[in-house]
Structure 1
Amino acid sequence: MKNLKELFEIAKASMEQQKDFVFVTVIASSGSTPRGAGSRMLVLPDGTSFGTIGGGSVEHTSVLEAQKALTEKKSSCRAYRLRENQAADLGMICGGDVSLYFQYISWENQDFYQLCSRLLADWNKNENSWLLLDITEETAWQSGYYQENSGLWGLSLSNPAPLLKPNAAQAVLDGRRYYSEPLVRKGMVYIFGGGHVAQELVPLLTHLEFSCTVFDDREHFSSPRLFPAAAKCITGDFTRLSDYFEITPEDYVCIMTRGHQYDYLVQQQVLKTPAKYIGVMGSKRKKAIIREKLLHDGFTPEELARITTPIGLNIQAETPSEIAVSIAGELIQIRAKNG
């Protein structure tokens, strides 16, 4: 399954190869459906698809509908009922309704090509950004892109603020109907220690739309060659973290260095930041030793309660890849709760 950034990379590459395509987007859903609003797949003329809107019959039917849109060179909206024995039923038993938009994109559409180029260039800036679509006219959607620091690109709106929701949504503004979807959510995952778990964790988190910074004092373990998916790789001094970055309330911290002393040094510093999450990998004995040192430093039990250790959800994980899954699950949970 492709993540959102990869879909826009495929879209840009398809246009460069002079291939039309269709974006199929779930713009509304209710009841029990396979995927919620914001789920998307890209379909090429030969029926090849990337991404998913939930699989099964609805996805198969949508690929056929997308190929029809490519033949007719026209966008459209379709609604499906995912219940048995009803009109427009697709043979699924989820029990819900889903509205899909089939957005036809010609390879000659320079506005959309520029949108993809700008969006991808800005992706790793760690700024909140949204995809905005004017869906007033079903056959001619207009696409825009909003970034907190750079503002609006591609649409003419005096004040897009009412559209900037934490989740995919539709809204009416100035008499026109819009669909908005978060693209990048501000918040960096700082991973201290580039060992085996980090090597499994970074590509997984990146696939889940998290941005990752890997920090280690050993060049080999903080190298872009080892972590090609990371937004940043930093080789630095564990005693001077603030020299390299500033941790904000939107950021996550995962501590998995090669030893007690380094874990302690990192915890000692990040406890003074407003990080949203602090997780530490290690045993009960390691936790107890470092806790005593931090209490001796003057940290209160309430402050130490911010630390999650052992890190990750309790899924009986043992291998580095399993531990990475447990950590990713916990970060997904926290992101969902906090929006």
Structure 2
Amino acid sequence: MSAYELLFKILKERGKVFSATIVSGPMAGEKCVYTENEMHGKPFWNDFLPDLQKIEQTETVRIGKREIFVELFLKAPRLLILGGGHVSLPVCQIGKILGFDITVVDDREEFVTKERFPWADHLLCCDFGNLPEELFAYENTFYVAVTRGHQGDRACARAVLSHPFAYFGMIGSRTKVQITKDALLREGFSKEKIESMHSPIGLPLGGQLPEEIAVSIMAEIVKEKNRRYTGFADMEVAEAVLKGQHGVMLTILSKSGSSPRGTGSKMFLADGGQTAGSIGGGNVEFTACRDAGRVSDVQVKDYDLSAKDASSLGMVCGGHVRVLFERI
């Protein structure tokens, strides 16, 4: 299985994955795929893992003598609402408008019905102290704890903090929240992990009504979701790779000026000539595809869109694009 096949497989299953590619320096061309808990690559990558795990978005970094392109891939965010009370209703409705796949959990059957939550994709009745492991398998999940009591919130916090998550917010006053944090600290959770909770939950909008509180919660989630820069890979790119096609992957490493696509944008050029995705179209993409035919392994090429050379590439807007070519 190629690194890209593994990457897109993990992305489909968990919704979040990183990759790192050495673009210059010793071992240029080597690639790894990693998550919060796993590293897939040659053994030497484990030496770089502590530095890589500090990087939260798509960017090019230097580690020692190596220039490394790190990519964050995110897919289809999920919203898991723990508690089916009065605040959960508008949180669910707004979350659906924003495009989240939504699961609502409560320990009372009458609070997790389709009549009560017509916007939810999944409903689950279970004890908050015994939440199923499968709820936590998808890393691009945003958790909102709004149970009816302090014990339920603490049980949810204990479960969520034991797994990777995109966001975890817990409702409650500062005093009650601090009691929960102190209890979790005594149970062995690190201070850093505990402080990653958003609690009291939501942006401080001053709202009192359930609908106003829900707006503040979802506003904070949107802010957190968009905090990191992620590369853009069309799903047709992933589908082409997962079908086992061979060819060259073209990725924008960096850009300046008015080039149409951003860092991380991808295009897959199959050996048969079929393409998936785009790195901007026009003559610059045409020229890059022509250059891809001569790539046998890994290569980086610069395309100058300055006034001097832009006309030859059909890009009079100016700028500069750096493209990574990888044969897979």
- Category of TM-score, reference length = shorter chain: 0.3 to 0.5
TM-score, normalised by the number of residues in structure 2: 0.46
Q: Which has the higher contact order (CA 8 A, sep 6+)?
A: 2
